[in-house]
Structures are given as C-alpha cells and as structure tokens.
Amino acid sequence: MPGQGVAWACKGFEPGSGRLLHHVATDLLPKGTPQAIVTGPSFAKEVAMNLPTAVTVAGSDSSFTKVMANALHGGRFRAYTSDDMIGAELGGAVKNVMAVATGICDGMKLGDNARAALITRGLAEMMRLGVALKAKPETLMGLAGAGDLILTCTGDLSRNRQLGLKLGQGKTLETALDEIGQVVEGVNSSAEVQRLSLTHNINMPISEQVNGIIHKGWDPAEGVARLMAREQKAEHGE
C-alpha cells in the first residue's frame, strides 16, 4: 500500500561482509519495498525525557521517507528528510568507532586538545570512507554524521565512549564489556571499518588503532604514540 515500507533505527555493518543495512534489507525484502533509516544524535533516555532532539530520516522512496518523518516530527523532536541512505548509515556506524577512540583518549586523561583533534580527524576519516562508498558529503557533515559523532564521542550515555574510557583506564576488553552489560556496536564496527578501509585503500589511522586495541590486544598508549609519530602532512587532500 502507498506510504508503507520498512524503517529501522539500528546502526552498524553486516558482520563479515561490511555491507550497510539497507543493502542487506534489499536482498531480504520484496523488490521495491520502501526503506528508511532513522539516525542522528539521539540518546534514547533524553528522547524519553522529552528533551530537544533532531534526527535524519533517510530513505529510498521520498513518499515513504516523508511519511516516517511526519510521524516522528513534533513537539521537541525534529525529523529532517534525506535520500542518502549510504551516508546516513555510514555516519551512524563509523561514529561508534571514533567514540571508542575518544573514550580511550579521555580515559588516559590526554586532555581537551587531544579530544578535539580525535573528533575532527575522525570526521576526516568518515568523509574519506564516504567518498569511496558514494555518500554525500553534506550528509556526513549533518546530523547523521558530524552531529551523531559529536554526541557519541562526548556524551557519557554513549556505550562506545564508556568502552573507550574503560580501555583507556587499563581495563581489559572482557572486563569493560561485562561492566557495561549492553551491546557496544563499536566492537563489531571497528573490524568492518578496517575491512572497508583496506578494501578501498583508504587511510584511516584512528580506526586502525581502535581495531587493533579491540581485536588484536594492542596497548592503548602505544596506539596513541603511533598516531602522534605519523609523518607531517597537509591537513586536507589525503
């Protein structure tokens, strides 16, 4: 029926393949089924408290996307529309990896300068991967990208940031995950982002270090040292 389709608010990649969720859904749903993702800087607890929130609804069918946005929009909850599902899903997944990195930075008490640098350079990595996957730059600079990145990297309600904080304080991955007691999306996403960076030959050093710390047992302090020891280069143009 007109206006009907499938929408989701989960974020991440298909384990083992690195595929975005709408690519998986396309294989599973009847051909032509409208799809949409609801994403952006939106801690569920704050939404439930009716605190001001803005999100992006990105979809494959403009009519269905509008229906979803209208259903969500109102009061203190704003819903913007987009046709860039790749960018919306990519931003929602990569930001979890960067939140782990920022949490490690803060757990090691490296300071506000380091946190700001990590978030900014993390956005640069997200943008480079976005170019390879044909995401729109404006999506990654909007709520689904930069907005969600800033929230997840700085907000203590973020499970990914909490994981990073605990790793930066010297706790093991197993202990940190046990203490959090919930799914931490950045664990899986770090492996898939690393896979995509290698597949597309993209320089993503922060993502590489997070993947190494989580999946290869690398020491966080050594990871910071490796990042700081990289050669001098122009800020833009990689």
Residues 173 and 222 both lie in one domain: yes
User: Is there a domain that residue 235 lies in?
Assistant: no
Q: Are residues 214 and 132 in the same domain?
A: yes
- Counting as low any pLDDT under 50, the low residues of the chain are none
- β-pair partners for 59: 36
Domain final residue pick, 57, 85, 113: 85
Residue 222 in contact with residue 45, Cβ under 8 Å? no
pLDDT at 1: 52
CA dist list (Å): 117 to 122, 141, 177, 183, 190: 8, 16, 26, 27, 19
pLDDT digits (tens, 9 = 90+) for 60-88: 999 999 999 999 999 999 999 999 999 99
- pLDDT of 11 reads 86
Instruction: Calculate ∠ Cα 126-70-84, nearest 5°.
Output: 25
Query: Under a CB-based contact definition with an 8 Å cutoff, are residues 41 and 47 in contact?
Result: no
Residue in 145, 61, 154, 48 with CA at minimum distance from that of residue 105? 154
Domain shared by 191 and 96, yes or no: yes
Are residues 75 and 95 both part of a single domain? Answer: no
- Tell me the residue range of the domain where 51 lies: 6-85
Q: Catalogue the active-site residues.
A: 95
| Contact of 93 with 13, CB cutoff 8 Å | yes
Q: Do both 157 and 100 map to the same domain? A: yes
Any domain includes 68: yes
Number of helices (H) and strands (E) in the chain: give both, helices first: 12, 4
Q: Which helix (H) or strand (E) covers residue 208, if one does? A: helix 205-215
Residue 210 and residue 115: Cα distance in Å, rounded?
15
The pair of three-digit structure tokens given for residue 38, joined into one six-digit string: 């609801």
Residue-level pLDDT at 236: 86
* pLDDT computed for residue 2 by the predictor: 57
Same domain, 11 and 129: no
Please tell me the predicted confidence (pLDDT) of residue 18. Answer: 87
Residue 233 lies in a domain: no
Residue 131 CA from chain centroid, whole number: 16
Q: Looking at the domain assignment, is residue 44 inside a domain? A: yes
CATH number for the domain that contains residue 19: 3.40.50.720
**Pick from 50, 85, 120: which residue ends a domain?**
85
Q: How many domains does the chain have?
A: 2
User: Which residue, 85, 117, 132, sits at the end of a domain?
Assistant: 85
Taking the alpha carbons of 222, 226, 227, 228 in that order, is the dihedral positive or negative?
A: positive
* 98-117 pLDDT, tens digit each: 999 999 999 999 999 999 99
**Domain containing residue 174: CATH number:** 1.10.1040.10
Mean pLDDT in the chain? 94
